[in-house]
Structure 1
Amino acid sequence: MSFADLGLSDELLQAVEAAGYTEPTPIQAQAIPPVLMMKDLIGIAQTGTGKTASFVLPMIDILAHGRRRALMPRSLILEPTRELAAQVSENFEKYGKNHDLKMALLIGGVQMGDQLKTLSEGVDVLIATPGRLMDLFERGKILLTGCELLVIDEADRMLDMGFIPDIENICSKLPTTRQTMLFSATMPPPIKKLADRFLSNPKYIEVARPATANINIVQHKIAVNARKKRDVLRHLLRTDNVSTAIVFCNRKTTVRELAQSLKRHGFSAGEIHGDMDQSSRIAELDRFKAGDLNILVASDVAARGLDVKGVSHVFNFDTPWHPDDYIHRIGRTGRAGATGRAFTFVAPEDAEAIGNVEKLTGGKIPVFELAIEEPAEEREEKPRPKREAREPRESRTEQRSPRREPRAEEPRRERRPRRAEPESADDGWNGPVPDFLGVSALA
């Protein structure tokens, strides 16, 4: 099957061909026709299967006919993160170059003035994160009554980030007669409840079992002590034919420290995490995509939806806390039919986390046996001098300093003789005899 068989316009087919695509992926082949027929849609597919193009391409043809109005976007796409929103906007620019469509990106971390100016001129497509959209709506800077088409992308990620109440609020502001599409990698009960409430008789498409990993990705787990993780990572980066790699960590502090460590050891590494401002994150991603960096150390902000061609390896420096994140992390490699390798470092304290991952994926991850020959300049310690055999106690005693000789005894001073006491007439008296006792009273 080709894209021409899906009912897309000639202008759109030219843009798709110029982008280097000839055959649609399974999710694209099944989703595009019902979207063109203006039906509601639920699309369940693992990451890296082309979900973005499955709604971007038909939306371009649908929006090609119509007129835009100030402050009233004709369509709305909700994304959980700024990076995903920026990537969808890139898709619209790439595929919509032959159409007169105007797009606006409404995300946090950037100046609001330029966004308001674009909205005031009227837009066909508004790509937004829920937080910034609600902020502008509450200020009266945007109207949603003219929105005819809604896309909720990465719905399970929205759930994890606590955006479901915002999405329910946004949906209540939209016209009831609209077309709604919901895409997700999994379908937990809260997402199903959301779909039942806001979608009307949707077409359900599932191209892969929820939470299954891409078959083009070779997966391994490595049992390693937490203190040895950096040594193991450097060894694999040097020996496993790594061209470009993304290294995922659970904590932002670990991301910063690991990126600095890799730079000190001569690797071309960058970092991306939630504490960075938007311009810095975009700049770092652009450097990675351009090849100026070949290793990107990231938190889960980069785990979903980021499409970077040619990522050969994914390393889970930390076993993910949530098993769904494992699927999204390793999905950064093995994209568009390419093959990839994924390594997960499992410390003793990660036994429960890796067990949950294997329970979700439905199979044991093969163990990768690793024998590291550590470089002498990095790992070898100076040999300790051998302790000499202990000498017999007698010899050790002889080597000790001689005991101090006792001081010569001084002659003892003779005690003074007691003063002679006069003898008492009465042997019973034991004290001195007063003189007056010898004086007679008759004298």
Structure 2
Amino acid sequence: MNFKDLGISNDIENILNKSGIKTPTPIQQDSIIHILNNEDVIAEAQTGTGKTLAFLLPIFENISLSSNGIQALIISPTRELAIQITEEANKLSLAKDIGILSMYGGKDIGSQMKKLKGNIRLIIATPGRLLDHLKRKTVNLSTLRTIVLDEADQILLMGFKNEIDIIMKETPKKKQTLCFSATMDSSVKKLAYRYMQDPVVISVKKEEVTLTNIKQEVVETIDREKREALCKALDQDNPFMAIIFCRTKRRADELELVMHRRGYNCKVIHSDIQQSKRERIMKSFRNADIQYLIATDVASRGLDISGASHIYNYDIPEAVETYIHRIGRTGRAGNVGYTCLFVDPKDSKMLSNIENEIKFKIPRRELK
């Protein structure tokens, strides 16, 4: 099956082909046709399954250039994810210039207000910044046809339920609602069904996303020897591009300082880093100008970094789901990825939980 079979136009398909995207992923195959038919969709799919294009492609097809006003709105829980969706949308706009505006905190609100005076038909926004515009009456959603709640589980986890309620009241009653989420628990379903009419429910199995093409290993160590163990592994592997996950901002900062002194090409990213700087770091990492990205879990969700060949879990995560999201940064688009988890004896219970969840005893790695 190709994108044309799903109802995607030649011009947009050509843009995809130039980016090396020739075959739709399962989530794209299952959802694009329903979205093109203006049906409501609730989809369970993790980052890395191609979910962004699963809703962007049909949105581009459905937007009418002969009508002005905002026709589609994508709500993202984080600035990082909003930036990434915008980047994908901008690529597609080479085929169809629909007028795109991204809205998130840390970006000058004045320039956003200026752009809104032009022909903007698609807005990609975080809840807080969108509410800002709604209060200022600089955004009018009366012409809206489609709304997307992306990473709905994170929207709820980050406490944006009230904001979503307020935003929804500003939209027309008759519209298409799409809800994409990595997990489909009762709170996500409750949120989705509250705003939907007979939604089509789509699910991509976890195993397809998280474990295929990913080689996992564990290094057993103790906390005070972790830095040496990590550096030893990095020297042996010399990865093309790697993300190193730390539990806290402080540990991430300390690790960056040590690695920088030792001559590693690295940068740190977490919520205390200024937004403009975070964007520069992410751009440099995507361009492979930075070899090692040291991150807290703010970066494990929504960062679509297809070039990360290796993931190092310097600290074991506090939840199994987080481990799965972290390692989902690698092994994409048919490439084989590698992940290494450093564990202290006190981490044995969480390691056991991870292995039970993924139904796999992770091989131990001996560092020579």
Tell whether 2:74 aligns with 1:77. Answer: yes
Which residue is 2:201 aligned to? 204
Structure 1 CA distance for aligned equivalents of residues 112 and 16 of structure 2? 28
Equivalent residue pairs, number: 368
Q: Which of 241, 255, 259 is matched with 1:262 structurally?
A: 259
TM-superposed CA distance for 1:91, in Å, is 0.7
Which residue is 1:306 aligned to? 303
Over 3 Å counting, the alpha-carbon distance change for 1:348 and 1:236 in structure 2 is same
Q: RCO greater where, 1 or 2, for CA within 8 Å and sep 6 or more?
A: 2
Which residue is 1:47 aligned to? 47
Which residue is 2:237 aligned to? 240
2:272 counterpart SS class: coil
Is contact 1:153–1:182 with CA below 8 Å preserved after alignment?
A: yes
Deviates more, 1:193-202 or 1:349-358: 349-358
Structure 2 CA distance for aligned equivalents of residues 48 and 302 of structure 1? 14
Which residue is 2:167 aligned to? 170
Tell whether 2:359 aligns with 1:363. Answer: yes
Structure 2 CA distance for aligned equivalents of residues 187 and 211 of structure 1? 16
Which residue is 2:288 aligned to? 291
Which residue is 1:38 aligned to? 38
Over 3 Å counting, the alpha-carbon distance change for 1:168 and 1:219 in structure 2 is farther
Structure 2 CA distance for aligned equivalents of residues 43 and 245 of structure 1? 29
| 1:83-103 CA-partner distances (Å, limit 9, x unpaired) | 110111111111221212100
TM-superposed CA distance for 1:303, in Å, is 0.7
1:61 counterpart SS class: helix
TM-superposed CA distance for 1:138, in Å, is 2.0
- Percent identity reads 39
Tell whether 2:30 aligns with 1:22. Answer: no
Which amino acid letter does the alignment assign opposite residue 239 of structure 2? V
TM-score, with structure 2 as normaliser:
0.95
> What are the residue-to-residue correspondences of 1:35-434 with 2, within 5 Å?
35-69=35-69, 73-209=70-206, 213-359=210-356, 361-372=357-368
TM-superposed CA distance for 1:66, in Å, is 4.0
Name stretches of at least 5 consecutive residues in structure 1 with no aligned partner: 373-443
TM-superposed CA distance for 1:241, in Å, is 4.3
Over 3 Å counting, the alpha-carbon distance change for 1:109 and 1:211 in structure 2 is farther
TM-superposed CA distance for 1:161, in Å, is 1.3
1:5 counterpart SS class: coil
Over 3 Å counting, the alpha-carbon distance change for 1:210 and 1:169 in structure 2 is farther
Structure 2 CA distance for aligned equivalents of residues 346 and 340 of structure 1? 20
| 1:50-82 CA-partner distances (Å, limit 9, x unpaired) | 00011111111101444223xxx2211011111
Is contact 1:46–1:208 with CA below 8 Å preserved after alignment?
A: no
Is contact 1:317–1:344 with CA below 8 Å preserved after alignment?
A: yes
Which residue is 1:385 aligned to? none
Is contact 2:310–2:338 with CA below 8 Å preserved after alignment?
A: yes
Structure 2 CA distance for aligned equivalents of residues 362 and 281 of structure 1? 32
TM-superposed CA distance for 1:168, in Å, is 2.4
TM-superposed CA distance for 1:36, in Å, is 0.6
Structure 2 CA distance for aligned equivalents of residues 53 and 127 of structure 1? 14
Structure 1 CA distance for aligned equivalents of residues 241 and 160 of structure 2? 32
Larger Cα Rg: Structure 1 or Structure 2?
1
Deviates more, 1:209-218 or 1:140-149: 209-218
TM-superposed CA distance for 1:263, in Å, is 1.1
TM-superposed CA distance for 1:210, in Å, is 7.8
TM-score, with structure 1 as normaliser:
0.80
Which amino acid letter does the alignment assign opposite residue 348 of structure 2? A
TM-superposed CA distance for 1:133, in Å, is 1.0
TM-superposed CA distance for 1:351, in Å, is 3.0
Structure 2 CA distance for aligned equivalents of residues 143 and 352 of structure 1? 51
Deviates more, 1:32-41 or 1:115-124: 115-124
Is contact 1:245–1:314 with CA below 8 Å preserved after alignment?
A: yes
Structure 2 CA distance for aligned equivalents of residues 244 and 100 of structure 1? 33
